Structure 1
């Protein structure tokens, strides 16, 4: 074996040995804590019984933190140094003064003593012992009867006394080791119960060596009352630790993992007692016993019985049961979450996905036949934008399909509002163009091209994109728990002022669209498109208002499946109806072979392509139809000539009052008996009736 292998093996063995020793130390520490808790429990229930008849002291095997009594230790070291410098042979009055003043100056010190012992024989020479009166904080008194006579040796059973027979190099088991990196002149004892004082104490003892090898050596000790300290067996939460707690007992409770330890601070009881806590069922757990709150003393007894194989009540009675899935708090196994009927939801989602595919296929079909008049005069680019918005609105059903979370809510907001904005804006721009054309009274045509309408449409979409983007990054939509009619919880996207503000804006947008549609109610257009778009916009407004009413007033606490069904109905009534109204008649004409023919009924009513769609039918890649332009100009000239002739006749007859009207004459259609008939009608002058001027909006 090489040197490298040898050192590697040695290192591994050292690590393993260190690990085993660490585990042993932890085990011993836990064992000491358990034995100390048993002692504390025994003292608490038998201190007035047989315990004090057989023993005067009861020790613990765990130390207290001596740093909390640092000022007391420093006083003892200072007094020991003073007595060493002055000597302890003939200064009994000085011993009494030091002992008394130590007690008076420090409220935590219960008693103090100075023993003077012969360094060679170990016999007691004299002592000064002062103790507070009784169990109350009061003036100290000197104790004379301490069970030690002059010339005898101190009883080695006293916790504060180190037996002289023990080796100087071996520490007495009654004393604890000093804290790391700290050197004390004396030693602190383990905590112990004093039957004479009926208190828990710790003692600090410091030797007073003689000046030479021979002589009298001194021994100073003091007892500190620690009965006021609290034994908190629960874990420390958020580093919040009381000053009067004993840290060594933290985490020594016997609560099951399904419960949480809750400390009960002592008010008028005994601070030093085991099981001074409650085991409370954690969130998501319940117990049919004791309302899920167990007394720590009973839990400690049940744990002891479990260790001794005498009972299993700790596992059955003091263990909480897990609630039904999704329950934060419960008292039984009743469900807390609403049930999702996935086959039903999958069926609705499948139909919505089919609608998306159909919308994309329809867009491809329209692009393929874009040169047909039925599509060409209706602006193929706006038809494509409309179909894109409809497909986006269909995708909302996929966003709200799963159990909602943050990402689902983001997708829901974007698909719903962006799809609505794209679809509705595209339809509204086309209707607005018809409205502007319809209101023009001059012979000069007002032409608004697709490019100009897109310039108006882009800012509207840009505002929506900025709003949704700001919403997503600044206050990301998330899901919250709500309850249905059966108080079952499920997830729903949060509705806040972002939703309300956007809803107000969309309502105002809908109101403007309805006004525009109302203004073109009497307008005639090729293929009756203006009226069909108006119907689609009316339908979108009515469906959204009805669905809001359903959600707020009829089904305010509906379950997740009902809400999903309402979303499906809203999507189909608004989106599918829009596609059917706008694209249905066009597809039917194409299938019948009439897609490249003009709408004869509209042309017979005097509707031209230029008036109906503002000249957008003249696609740039086609040459201008001069014959069509001449026909339109002739129509306009005939209308103007008829209007001029009409005005001439009116002025002539208004200046010739003697001319009487004739039934069946020019003005008989007006049903006005006092109006004078045109004299030209008697001569057989035949004039076509002029068209009624467009109504001014």
Structure 2
């Protein structure tokens, strides 16, 4: 049996192929999305990233330019009438290749979007999205305010130049300058509000308003308070409230307002709020919250206290009618501030008002209150000083005594025998004494006024004691009081026999009791 030969093994080789239609395969040249997928063509698009962004287009196959460049937010397509507001990627690729080959610079000059108008998040054309400020109107308003503010340094110079004139000396020139300082600060919100709204301008406007109000009207109310304290005194004890005492109290008032402003700045900083105007455009303004409402209520309460003081002193004698002018200024500020603050609330809700209108309201508020207050306070003083300028003593001796807002009174020199009541007798005697003092040829100093006021109070107390003791039958005590009163009076002796009048601080003090003689007789 023969052995069979081994079989030879053969290896056969083969190939396999896969046909892929590249026209159906898309490539993505846009920047990688945060998906983590590998993309070798990513970020190869030629969109100008400063104003446009890449959006891939599917279905264009395996070729460059399978994307479009659309405008980013805040930019718009230059051709506003084009049906497709984007740049085609294939066109961009062609123009980019021409740039590389040095054929054309079309790519450099095109394929960009234009910025929207200021304040627009998105837009389709260059139309504004925010109300445009009327700078011409605002400039005119600011110029008028600047002219008015220039008058404040002139008034300060006036109070310094004529500080020794009686019409200014009686009104305390130092306090008048403090009022002018507060008025200057009250005009500053107009300057700040001229510029576009920001957190800084909102904060400065609040500070200027509150500090200026506390200084200006605080000084006026303290002057009225001093008159009310002196007027209500019924004893012979002299009440002396100096300008220094008033300034100490004014510092306390300003400190309270300043503390409130500091607390508001730290805890509730004013913000710039955005709203949509009735026209559909955006409008920006300072926020108005309970901090602002609390400040307005505090101002109103402060002015109501001032109105109470004005009612108390309405019948008090006032040189040059100053207390009456202060009362008018306080009434005016109270009514207008209340009306304009309510108006501002309606102007801001439900739609914010035109910023130019709000600026005009601030201008009207400042001039109808601060300017009118300065006119009341300084108008008559400037008129009298200019009228009698060059006449040595006329303006020094021209005095208007006002009772309850009435005009100047004229009294006869004949003695009055009516002694029905102590009050009518004392008031009549004081009126005749005031009229005689006005006709005197020498200027009175503040010390002389204090002495005469103290003597009037002492005389009224002596009259009260005399009539009280007459009623209970103590005739001997009445004779003693009458003798004391007559001894204090000036005799009707010839001029050479009159005793010398006392001198104080180098000035002659004249206490004329001629008009009191008849009222002491029974």
**Band of TM-score, shorter chain:** 0.5 to 0.7
Alignment of 1:402-441 (within 5 A): 402-441=195-234
Find out whether 1:596 has 2:419 as its counterpart. no
Find out whether 1:506 has 2:299 as its counterpart. yes
The CA RMSD measured in Å over matched residues stands at 4.5
Find out whether 1:253 has 2:42 as its counterpart. no
Q: In structure 2, the residue corresponding to 1:243 is in which secondary structure?
A: coil
Alignment match, 2:175: 382
How big is each residue's C-alpha offset from its partner over 1:540-578, in whole Å with a ceiling of 9 and x where there is no partner?
122222222332225754323222221111111111101
Task: Return the offset for 1:393.
Answer: 1.5
Alignment match, 2:355: 560
Distance 1:234 1:512, change over 3 A: farther
Contact 2:189 2:204 in 1 (8 A): yes
Alignment match, 1:303: 92
Distance 1:638 1:472, change over 3 A: closer
Contact 2:272 2:284 in 1 (8 A): yes
Partner Cα separation in structure 2 for residue 600 and residue 476 of structure 1? 50
Q: In structure 2, the residue corresponding to 1:395 is in which secondary structure?
A: helix
Alignment match, 1:72: none
Distance 1:631 1:572, change over 3 A: closer
Q: How many residue pairs are counted as aligned between the two chains?
A: 418
Find out whether 1:285 has 2:75 as its counterpart. yes
1:242 to 35, 38, 48: 35
Alignment match, 1:392: 185
Distance 1:284 1:245, change over 3 A: same
Find out whether 1:150 has 2:11 as its counterpart. yes
How big is each residue's C-alpha offset from its partner over 1:124-169, in whole Å with a ceiling of 9 and x where there is no partner?
xx9xxxxxxxxxxxxxxxxxxxxxx9365x87xx9xxxxxxxxxxx
Contact 1:260 1:282 in 2 (8 A): yes
Task: Return the offset for 1:390.
Answer: 0.7
Task: Return the offset for 1:359.
Answer: 0.8
Q: In structure 1, the residue corresponding to 2:285 is in which secondary structure?
A: strand
Alignment match, 2:125: 332
Distance 1:650 1:581, change over 3 A: farther
Relative to its length, the structure with more strand (as a share) is 1
The structure whose RCO (Cα within 8 Å, separation 6+) is larger is: 2
Alignment match, 1:99: none
Q: In structure 2, the residue corresponding to 1:383 is in which secondary structure?
A: helix
How big is each residue's C-alpha offset from its partner over 1:368-409, in whole Å with a ceiling of 9 and x where there is no partner?
211222222222221111001111112222211122334433
Task: Return the offset for 1:195.
Answer: 3.5
Distance 1:598 1:510, change over 3 A: same
Contact 1:389 1:422 in 2 (8 A): yes
Distance 1:467 1:647, change over 3 A: same
Find out whether 1:645 has 2:467 as its counterpart. yes
Alignment match, 1:683: none
1:233 to 18, 30, 41: 30
Q: In structure 2, the residue corresponding to 1:460 is in which secondary structure?
A: helix
Alignment match, 1:454: 247
Distance 1:499 1:436, change over 3 A: same
Task: Return the offset for 1:646.
Answer: 8.0
Contact 1:286 1:323 in 2 (8 A): yes
Distance 1:270 1:623, change over 3 A: closer
Contact 1:284 1:323 in 2 (8 A): yes
How big is each residue's C-alpha offset from its partner over 1:650-671, in whole Å with a ceiling of 9 and x where there is no partner?
99xxxxxxxxxxxxxxxxxxxx
Q: State the TM-score, normalized to the length of structure 2.
A: 0.66
Alignment match, 2:102: none
Based on CA coordinates, which of the two structures has the bigger radius of gyration? 1
Partner Cα separation in structure 1 for residue 446 and residue 322 of structure 2? 25
Task: Structure 1 unaligned segments of length 5 or more: list them.
Answer: 1-125, 127-148, 159-193, 200-226, 612-621, 652-685, 690-697
Task: Return the offset for 1:258.
Answer: 6.4
Partner Cα separation in structure 1 for residue 94 and residue 60 of structure 2? 24
Alignment match, 2:420: none
Partner Cα separation in structure 2 for residue 578 and residue 367 of structure 1? 20
How big is each residue's C-alpha offset from its partner over 1:430-489, in whole Å with a ceiling of 9 and x where there is no partner?
112222223333332322222222221112212323333454466554544444443334
Partner Cα separation in structure 2 for residue 465 and residue 242 of structure 1? 57
Task: Return the offset for 1:638.
Answer: 4.2
Distance 1:487 1:270, change over 3 A: closer
Partner Cα separation in structure 1 for residue 337 and residue 455 of structure 2? 45
Find out whether 1:195 has 2:30 as its counterpart. no
Contact 1:586 1:595 in 2 (8 A): no
Contact 2:225 2:309 in 1 (8 A): yes
Q: In structure 1, the residue corresponding to 2:320 is in which secondary structure?
A: helix
Alignment match, 2:161: 368
Find out whether 1:624 has 2:447 as its counterpart. yes
Task: Return the offset for 1:254.
Answer: 4.3
Alignment match, 1:59: none
Task: Return the offset for 1:366.
Answer: 0.5
Distance 1:264 1:427, change over 3 A: farther
Partner Cα separation in structure 2 for residue 476 and residue 582 of structure 1? 36
Q: In structure 1, the residue corresponding to 2:122 is in which secondary structure?
A: coil
Partner Cα separation in structure 2 for residue 384 and residue 299 of structure 1? 73
Q: State the TM-score, normalized to the length of structure 1.
A: 0.51
1:545 to 310, 329, 338: 338
